Amino acid sequence: MGKLWGGRFAGATDALAHRFNASLPFDVQLYDEDITGSVAWALTLGGAGILTADEVATIIGGLEQVRAEFQGNTIVFDQADEDIHTVVERRLTELVGPVGGKLHTGRSRNDQVATDFRLWTMRAVDRLQGHLAALQRALLASARANLELPMPGYTHLQHAQPVTWGHWALSHFWPLARDAGRLAAARAAAAVLPLGSGALAGTPVAVDRQALAAGLGFAAASQNSLDAVADRDFALDFLYAAAVLGVHLSRLAEQLILFSSAEFGFAVLDDAYTTGSSLMPQKKNPDTLELARGKAGRLIGHLAGLLATLKGLPSAYDKDLQEDKEPLFDAAETLELALPVMAGVVGTLRLRPERMAAQLEPGLLATELADYLVRRGVPFRQAHELVGQAVQLAETRQVTLADLSLADMQTISEQFEAGALDVFDVAAALAGRQVMGGTAPQALQQQLAAAEAAVD
């Protein structure tokens, strides 16, 4: 058997054109979904009285044999095979004879491939959710073990206010929780069955598409056959979820690269996730984290690429749509490696509390001093100005804010009194932020419990 569509052609396809046209090198990934969809279609044809019970049994037996050949890696491709659908049908017919040719009754590769690809996407989401939850659990474990460990908090990458390691670790947990929601939304978008749409106008076979949908694990059947064979919104939703997740992994990676540098030294990466230099014997490079950061680029690119592919397409199928698969395959493969690697990095991270403590300088408590003045009735704007002057004075003397004496402060304002010097206390600054979402111990306990509930 050659092409699935050879009848009306007198001349052969140019060899390069065949290669250009072929999707088999990548859509071979869809073999399991293709066979599952075909089994359901054979049953549907049986139900509609188009195939006899014997024919259905023969075809399904043959399809399962083809599936076993794929699983056992014994399937042999033919030069003329154009895509996965061709391979499955050709091999089926070789195995069961001409009855195999009845399977494609009332079906087109257009509704077939859309069905396969949606099934694949639903399964890919299920795999990714597992990997995502594992990374979330690694962050939770790090947060739980170091919930109240003080460290400097940064804005603009400058010392801002004290926070804790647990607070920081949870700040990377919640974006991932939202990613799980975005992936779930992409899965829901994929769970609409196109099969039965035929090439574009709908199959002439009397089929209960809702029942077919339910049998294949879809939530509903599509409403419009012209739309159904061209709709790749679910693929965009998946790529969007993947791109945002990639951005989140990149941000986490970037921060861990900084924290493990000699300058910060807050954390030490395990040898298992680092590499050396061929030239500099002392080097321990965070390559895995750099790749996690770098891979966000290709994930973003896949989304932008498919958006561009789709923007000019009229309704119903155009071959441009064959370009939909590689970006999703690559996005899923990229994340299926990046997520467990990041979970490993986080799970093996060794913290250095003494390095964090060394960075907890009094400047991080300047806001506390302003709040002290506010408690004494000074308007915040004025308090901010006065503490700013104190910071400047300390800077000119090349001492820390806490090294100023009360007399020094009083040259700036009479409002500074004895209690002013008590504000330079990191634990008190942390404890003061009891608001929901804040960095006080009890607020963090509550946040941790909420995070644990979110991942279960």
Question: Rounded CA gap, 98 and 93, in Å?
Answer: 6
Residue range at the interface with ligand ARG (CB under 6 A); choices 60-68, 319-327, 347-355, 413-421: 319-327
Buried b (16+ CB within 10 A) or exposed e, 60-70: bebbeebbebb
**Min separation Cβ 29 and ligand ARG, Å:** 11
Q: Give 110 or 260: the residue with its C-beta nearer to ligand ARG.
A: 110
> What's the closest the beta carbon of residue 297 comes to ligand ARG, in angstroms?
26
Please, which residue, 27 or 368, has the CB nearer to ligand ARG? Answer: 27
Considering beta carbons, is residue 137 or 302 the nearer one to ligand ARG? 302
Residue choice 274, 285, 322, 348 for contact with ligand ARG (CB under 6 A): 322
- SS3 helix, strand, coil % of the chain, rounded to 5? 65, 5, 30
Residues 185 and 237: beta-carbon distance below 8 Å? yes
Helix (H) / strand (E) element for 185: namely: helix 165-190
Smallest distance from ligand ARG to CB 303, Å: 19
C-beta of 30: minimal distance to ligand ARG in Å?
Answer: 9
d(CA 16, CA 22): 10
Nearer to ligand ARG, 27 or 33 (CB): 27
Q: How far apart, in whole angstroms, are the C-alpha atoms of residue 198 and residue 109?
A: 8
- Go through 17-53 and write b for each residue having 16 or more CB atoms within 10 A of its CB, e for each that does not: eeeeebbeeebbbbbbbbbbbbbbbbbbbbbbebbee
C-beta separation of 151 from 266 below 8 A: yes
Q: Is the CB of 322 or the CB of 348 nearer to ligand ARG?
A: 322
Min dist CB 233 to ligand ARG, Å, is 16
Residue 167 CA, chain-centre distance (Å), reads 22
Of 81, 83, 89, 368, the one binding ligand ARG by CB under 6 A: 83
Name 351's bridge partners: 267
Q: CA 120, CA 420: separation in Å to the nearest integer?
A: 63
Cα distances from 437 to residues 184, 186, 365, 449, in angstroms, run 25, 29, 20, 12
Q: Does residue 27 bind ligand ARG (CB under 6 A)?
A: yes
Of 339, 335, 332, 333, the C-alpha closest to 121 is 332
Among 183, 239, 321, 373, indicate the residue that binds ligand ARG (CB under 6 A): 321
Q: Shortest gap between Cβ of 13 and ligand ARG (angstroms)?
A: 13
Nearer to ligand ARG, 113 or 243 (CB): 113
CA-based nearest residue to 115, from 205, 196, 22, 25: 196
| Minimum CB–partner distance for residue 124 and ligand ARG (Å) | 16
Is residue 317 part of the contact set for ligand ARG (CB under 6 A)? yes
| Most distant pair of Cα atoms in the chain: their distance | 101
Spatial CA neighbour of 420 closest among 379, 366, 380: 366
The reply on whether position 86 binds ligand ARG by CB under 6 A is no
Nearer to ligand ARG, 86 or 447 (CB): 86
Interface residues for ligand ARG in 435-454 (CB under 6 A)?
A: none
For the bound state, the minimum distance from the C-beta of residue 196 to ligand ARG, rounded and expressed in Å, comes to 16
Which residues have a catalytic role annotated? 156, 277
Residue 387, by phi and psi: left (phi above 0), alpha (psi -120 to 50) or beta?
A: alpha
Element (H, E) at 165: helix 165-190
Of 203-232, which residues contact ligand ARG (CB under 6 A)?
none
**Which residues between 93 and 132 bind ligand ARG (CB under 6 A)?**
109-110, 113
What is the C-alpha radius of gyration for the chain, rounded to an integer number of angstroms? 31
Tokens of 437: 């979402």
Binding segment for ligand ARG (CB under 6 A), chosen from 49-57, 230-238, 318-326, 434-442, is: 318-326
Closer by beta carbon to ligand ARG, 272 or else 307 = 307
Q: How many residues bind ligand ARG (CB under 6 A)?
A: 10
Which positions from 151 to 180 touch ligand ARG by CB under 6 A, shown as an x/- string?
Answer: ------------------------------
Interacting residues toward ligand ARG by CB under 6 A = 23, 27, 83, 109-110, 113, 317, 319, 321-322
